[in-house]
Amino acid sequence: MKPKTYDKLNSLFHNKQYNELLGQWDSLSKSEQQGKEEQNLYAATLLMVGDYANALKILEPLAEVYSEDVLVLSNLAQVFHGLDNIDQTLSILGKVLYLDPTHESSLQLYVAILIKLGRVNEAGQLLQRSIQALPHSVMIQYNMSLLYFNLLAPQRWPQAFELVASPGQLSIFQHIIHCQHQLIAAWVVRADLKEIKQALSSLERVLNLAESSDEVREQFALSKDHQVTINSAKSYAKMFRLLLEREQWPLSKDDKIAQLYLIGDSHSLPAHGQKVSWQNKPYQLNTLPVVGLKLHHIKPDRGSLQYSSLLARISQIPKNVPVVFSAGEIDCRIQRGIWSYAEKSGRSLAQVIQDTVEPAVVMLRQLVGDRPAALCGVPALTNIVFQKKGGGEITPKDVQDKFAKFVYQFNLIYRAEAHKHGFSFIDLHAATRGKGYYHNERETLDGRHYDASFLPEMIRDYCSDVK
């Protein structure tokens, strides 16, 4: 085959234009189709479109001739894996990794199979050797992260923490989101402390490597959305790291005391297991998290994952048992939410707040029925929300002051709607407000996450019941 022809086919393969490549292959002469590189490229294309049987017909005789060619052998292993022949897959992958211990795609598949088979110690030893050889490989660190999160044993968790896919099916960015959910679930079910520390450390390494170099960014085609995912996950990881450093591990469930269920976003996690007195009765807070929950989501026509998750959490709570909702903080962010929408639409802040809060509160009352319930307000703002990475302010001071006052205004409307519809209101803004409308810097973990371990005293001191 002429070099230009091969280069064109290779370009089609790397651009994932598999059907076009197969069409052009059929137009080639028999002599042009010969050769190791040509045959291997054709077999790899058949593999990508799921034609394992025909890929096998090409790769088996090719592997007999080129028995130490890593590319041929790795493709053959992928074919056997597609045919569910695990023994052959592991045998060939073992040979590939003997020839090239740093072959990342083979290592990834080998480890995924070992984890699925429950051979986690073997997988861990293999990954440790690979990390020594390639300490900056994001793919190897990704697989180590898969291993540690597998050890968190999600199969022990309640169905409320169902996951969208098994780890082997996830892209690296889906894996990052998957890890955030697993950390939250592990916290709530009080997973083993050593296991969650291992998992958290592995996620932190993946996050650092995923944005550490131009090569990695190009390899995984980092988009703006991907960077948002990474930043969000780093914020979660930092929150968990601070909680672990403070040894704020959730208290064990106390069967001698009634449960007060707390449904909220990630900010509510530190409150899990805390003892609290509400309406002159003792309770233990039991957090049921809904990642990314906004008041904006609490509408039946939204069809959002958060709304579906909210319904699932409410369905877990026994009838007539009290519940506290913590949502609204994400609605009150300067980059997106109510403030941003009001600026773009030209509508008044007060009207946008009212149109966001009122239908959400009405819907929450319908969902909980007549049971006792309370809504948590939004904490006062810290200056860090206006700062860019590396320091420096990106928002003029007068706009900062207006925004801080907007959050106060939001809470006034939120409290009025809460009382109007029979909810108690926990005024987190009053509890955390210091000078002006800004945060007192006490009940905060990292400047972004308020420390909900203070929630019991906030309920005690700042909970206003319906008049």
Look at residue 422 and give its three-state secondary structure. Answer: coil
Helix, strand, coil share (%) of the chain residues, nearest 5:
60, 10, 30
Residues 179 and 204 in one domain: yes
Long-range pairs of 413-416 with CB within 8 A, sequence gap ≥ 24: 413/350, 413/353, 413/354, 413/357, 414/328, 414/353, 414/357, 414/361, 414/375, 414/377, 414/378, 415/377, 415/464
Q: How do strand 258-264 and strand 275-278 relate by DSSP bridges?
A: unpaired
Residue 323 in any domain: the answer is yes
Q: What was the pLDDT predicted at 157? A: 40
DSSP letters, 279-294, are TTEEEEEEEEE-TT--
Q: What is the pTM of this model?
A: 0.68
Residues 234 and 357 in one domain: no
Per-residue pLDDT reduced to its tens digit, 187-221: 766 677 777 888 888 888 877 776 665 555 555 55
Q: How far is CA 309 from CA 135, 298, 357, in A?
A: 38, 11, 19
Domain that holds residue 444: 258-464
Q: How do strand 258-264 and strand 281-289 relate by DSSP bridges?
A: parallel
Q: Could you say which of 198, 222, 245 is where a domain stops?
A: 245
Residue 455 in any domain: the answer is yes
Q: What was the pLDDT predicted at 217? A: 58
Q: What gap in Å lies between CA 350 and CA 338, rounded to an integer?
A: 10
Residues 210 and 100 in one domain: yes
Residue 165 in any domain: the answer is yes
Residues 225 and 314 in one domain: no
Residues 241 and 263 in one domain: no
Q: How far is CA 142 from CA 110, 366, 439, in A?
A: 13, 43, 37
∠ CA 133-139-141, rounded to 5°: 70
Task: Supply 249's token pair.
Answer: 């591990």
Contact 428, 379 (CB under 8 A): yes
Which helix H or strand E contains 278, and what residues bound it?
strand 275-278
Q: Could you say which of 220, 245, 270 is where a domain stops?
A: 245
In CATH, what number is assigned to the domain containing residue 179? 1.25.40.10
Residues 34 and 85 in one domain: yes
Q: What was the pLDDT predicted at 168? A: 41
pLDDT in tens, the chain (467 residues): 677 788 889 899 988 899 999 999 999 888 888 888 999 999 999 999 999 999 999 999 999 999 999 999 999 999 999 999 999 999 999 999 889 887 878 887 888 888 778 787 888 888 888 777 777 776 777 777 767 776 665 444 433 333 333 334 446 666 677 777 777 777 766 677 777 888 888 888 877 776 665 555 555 555 555 666 777 778 778 878 877 776 555 666 778 889 899 998 877 888 888 888 888 899 998 888 887 788 988 876 656 778 888 888 898 898 889 999 999 888 888 877 899 899 899 999 999 999 999 999 999 999 999 999 999 999 887 655 555 544 445 678 888 889 889 999 999 999 999 999 999 999 999 888 888 788 776 766 665 666 777 888 888 888 887 65
Per-residue pLDDT reduced to its tens digit, 371-382: 999 999 998 876
Residues 226 and 297 in one domain: no
Terminal-residue alpha carbon distance, the chain: 85
Residues 207 and 345 in one domain: no
Residues 427 and 291 in one domain: yes
What is the side-by-side order of every strand in the sheet holding 275-278? 275-278, 281-289, 258-264, 323-326, 373-376, 424-426, 463-464
Residues 109 and 49 in one domain: yes
Q: What gap in Å lies between CA 338 and CA 351, rounded to an integer?
A: 10
Look at residue 157 and give its three-state secondary structure. Answer: coil
Q: What was the pLDDT predicted at 466? A: 62
Residue 253 in any domain: the answer is no
Residue 438 is classified by DSSP as B
Contact 276, 284 (CB under 8 A): yes
> How many domains are there within the chain?
2
In CATH, what number is assigned to the domain containing residue 299? 3.40.50.1110
Which residue carries 């006792």 as its tokens?
Answer: 372
Long-range pairs of 15-23 with CB within 8 A, sequence gap ≥ 24: 16/48, 18/45, 18/48, 18/49, 19/49, 21/45, 22/46, 22/49
User: How many CB atoms sit inside 10 A of residue 27's CB?
Assistant: 7
Exposure string of 384-394, with b = 16+ CB inside 10 Å and e = fewer, is ebbeeeeeeee
Residue 320 in any domain: the answer is yes
Residue 252 in any domain: the answer is no
Residue 64 in any domain: the answer is yes
Residues 278 and 407 in one domain: yes
Residues 221 and 315 in one domain: no
Look at residue 64 and give its three-state secondary structure. Answer: helix
Contact 311, 329 (CB under 8 A): no
